[in-house]
A and B are shown apart, each in its own frame.
Chain A
């Protein structure tokens, strides 16, 4: 009797949990789903009422979107360039720094490692005014270098790579390569990098997404419209030119997040495990 009551209770709880999960899922996905659906509906349809089913006006919306002078392809190319360069810089230099900290037993090693953990928590955006004024003295405002080069010192990237390399146990391989006469830099480039590829890829995804979505720094530092990245261009969709072209506005927003959705559909497993690894120590 007691056993049956216990089982009944578990089933009841399980049903309750699933109900709550479905409610939260609806809240999570509905806005994104509406965005995608409305990108395929004509402005008239959108004004007539709410619908969760796609329509057939995708191409029409695209034509309207481009007809108003918004250079979306240009913004896309700009964003792609900045994100690709940011990813390459972040991954390479984070691995390099982390490798130095994991493999070599130098005096300052522990201090430097602790320092990097502290750096992760420093609110860097608050020094943007000093950064801007300094960049303008160097003539680097309105230049992608001011967005990309600071990533050579990406503390959270180093932290992630350090966690990853520590879990890899590569010391024996390194020792073997040294006996074969390989130089230290060659060991890093030719032995460690290929082995650490899964970790590098995970960090790369994060670096790409972060750069792709970055609004604040680009907004402050980039001024000429032909250098605008997507987050800056998206704003112009809300201007007067598009006032009532709802279909085109939704489509513009949808195109902007589409690459991220594709990346997530393919790599969600790596992304989720990467988040867990970046946070859990030991």
Chain B
């Protein structure tokens, strides 16, 4: 029997071959190409006569305040949406799985909280643009209810624009985080809690000593996937205002800057690649650091 299976073994390579061929063509080579282009001065105009210029794109990039601002913005927008996202998700998951509270319709709550995640970001950005426009519903409500003396231009205020991007990102992702955290919590054996209760543990002790440690792998997974996604934030900040991160570059992210260099009049392919490469390296280093510092330390 085992000899029979051994003969079939090589079929495994056959089945995974299409994946790896497509990965080489559409995944790995473009990545290599981006690195290669980042060392050249290629534009849309000179693509045949582009020269190798070493690290010049990178030295320019790191001397450029706009790039540093884009990096800072991206971190700020991601961090300020991630903290409430994970906080609300853990809180709701604790409530939804609590035996004493017996919350009704958990499936329905969860499904509704997740709904924004499925909506097209292009539509969501346009929707919030419309809701927060000068003559839009938010101003109508705020003025009539007496919260504001007169209508204001929300999207011309840097702090409000940032707040809105953060809110939209939270709104989009907290439902998914609830689902994942809850799945992690329900996977923890009930017997652990029963034993702790027999020993007279309080609810907060059980949360800190049982739930959190056993949830750690899931939390790291959420942390890393959110970070990787967050560093590539584009659709919402790009489409909410003018596509250049206005007002005063307050919501310009890494990818918006990369796009602006790419789509500039000359089409600076080399410079745009260097943004992609710099952010790629930054993201990978941070993701690895999270895995390294949060790994299980066996004594």
Q: How far is the CB of B108 from chain A (nearest CB, A)?
A: 9
Q: How far is the CB of B211 from chain A (nearest CB, A)?
A: 15
Distance in angstroms between the alpha carbons of A271 and B107 in the assembled complex: 12
Distance in angstroms between the alpha carbons of A230 and B122 in the assembled complex: 9
Do A130 and B34 touch across chains, with their CB atoms under 8 A apart?
Answer: yes
Q: How far is the CB of A127 from chain B (nearest CB, A)?
A: 4
The listed residue with most B CB atoms (<10 A of its CB), out of A108, A131, A209, is A131
Q: How far is the CB of A271 from chain B (nearest CB, A)?
A: 8
Answer whether A129 and B19 are a contact pair too, CB < 8 Å, given A106-B13, A121-B287: no
Answer whether A238 and B129 are a contact pair too, CB < 8 Å, given A28-B112, A97-B19, A275-B176: yes
Do A29 and B27 touch across chains, with their CB atoms under 8 A apart?
Answer: no
- The interface residues of chain B, by DSSP majority, are classed as helix
Q: Is B33 an interface residue (CB 8 A)?
A: yes
The listed residue with most B CB atoms (<10 A of its CB), out of A93, A256, A272, is A272
Q: How far is the CB of B134 from chain A (nearest CB, A)?
A: 12
Do A106 and B37 touch across chains, with their CB atoms under 8 A apart?
Answer: no
Tell me the B89-144 residues at the A interface (CB within 8 Å): 92, 95, 100-103, 107, 109-116, 118-124, 126-131, 135, 137, 140-141, 144
Do A130 and B120 touch across chains, with their CB atoms under 8 A apart?
Answer: no
Do A130 and B33 touch across chains, with their CB atoms under 8 A apart?
Answer: yes
Q: How far is the CB of B29 from chain A (nearest CB, A)?
A: 6
Q: Is A235 an interface residue (CB 8 A)?
A: yes
A257 / chain B contacts, CB cutoff of 8 Å: 119-120, 123
Shortest Cβ distance from A279 into B: residue? B180
Q: Is B258 an interface residue (CB 8 A)?
A: yes
Do B126 and A253 touch across chains, with their CB atoms under 8 A apart?
Answer: yes
Answer whether A123 and B119 are a contact pair too, CB < 8 Å, given A104-B9, A129-B34: no
Do B19 and A93 touch across chains, with their CB atoms under 8 A apart?
Answer: yes
Distance in angstroms between the alpha carbons of A247 and B283 in the assembled complex: 42
Q: Is A237 an interface residue (CB 8 A)?
A: yes
Tell me the A243-259 residues at the B interface (CB within 8 Å): 246, 249-250, 253, 256-257
Do A128 and B276 touch across chains, with their CB atoms under 8 A apart?
Answer: yes
Shortest Cβ distance from B110 into A: residue? A272
Do A153 and B26 touch across chains, with their CB atoms under 8 A apart?
Answer: yes
B120 / chain A contacts, CB cutoff of 8 Å: 212-213, 215, 230-231, 234, 256-257, 260
Q: How far is the CB of B61 from chain A (nearest CB, A)?
A: 14
Do A268 and B123 touch across chains, with their CB atoms under 8 A apart?
Answer: no
Query: Which bracket fits the contact residues of A?
Result: 35 or more
Q: Is B189 an interface residue (CB 8 A)?
A: no
Q: Is A77 an interface residue (CB 8 A)?
A: no
Specify which of A25, A158, A213, A220 is in contact with B112 (CB 8 Å cutoff). Answer: A25
Distance in angstroms between the alpha carbons of A122 and B184 in the assembled complex: 23
A235 / chain B contacts, CB cutoff of 8 Å: 122, 126, 239
Do A272 and B111 touch across chains, with their CB atoms under 8 A apart?
Answer: yes
Do A104 and B15 touch across chains, with their CB atoms under 8 A apart?
Answer: yes
Distance in angstroms between the alpha carbons of A216 and B42 in the assembled complex: 22
Specify which of B15, B118, B183 is in contact with A280 (CB 8 Å cutoff). Answer: B183
Distance in angstroms between the alpha carbons of A275 and B178 in the assembled complex: 10
Q: Is B171 an interface residue (CB 8 A)?
A: yes
Specify which of B27, B129, B272 is in contact with A150 (CB 8 Å cutoff). Answer: B27
Q: How far is the CB of B172 from chain A (nearest CB, A)?
A: 10
Identify which of B146-154, B192-200, B218-226 touches chain A: B218-226
A56 / chain B contacts, CB cutoff of 8 Å: none
Q: Is A226 an interface residue (CB 8 A)?
A: no
Do B10 and A106 touch across chains, with their CB atoms under 8 A apart?
Answer: yes
B224 / chain A contacts, CB cutoff of 8 Å: 121
Q: How far is the CB of A201 from chain B (nearest CB, A)?
A: 16
B272 / chain A contacts, CB cutoff of 8 Å: 129
> Contact string, B261-294, partner A, CB cutoff 8 A, digits 1/0?
0100000010011001101100110010000000
Specify which of B15, B239, B273, B284 is in contact with A130 (CB 8 Å cutoff). Answer: B273
Q: Is A126 an interface residue (CB 8 A)?
A: yes
Do A184 and B34 touch across chains, with their CB atoms under 8 A apart?
Answer: no
Distance in angstroms between the alpha carbons of A67 and B228 in the assembled complex: 42
Answer whether A32 and B12 are a contact pair too, CB < 8 Å, given A121-B228, A237-B126, A280-B184: no
Lowest 5 CB-CB distances: which A-B pairs, in order? A100-B15, A130-B34, A104-B12, A130-B33, A152-B22
User: What are 5 A-B pairs at a CB distance below 8 A?
Assistant: A14-B103, A32-B119, A103-B12, A152-B21, A272-B179
Chain A residues within CB distance 8 Å of chain B:
10, 13-14, 17-18, 21, 24-25, 27-29, 31-32, 34-35, 38, 46-47, 49-50, 93, 96-97, 99-101, 103-106, 108-109, 112, 119, 121-134, 149-150, 152-153, 158, 178, 184, 188, 209, 212-213, 215-216, 220, 230-232, 234-235, 237-238, 246, 249-250, 253, 256-257, 260, 264, 268-269, 271-272, 275-277, 279-281
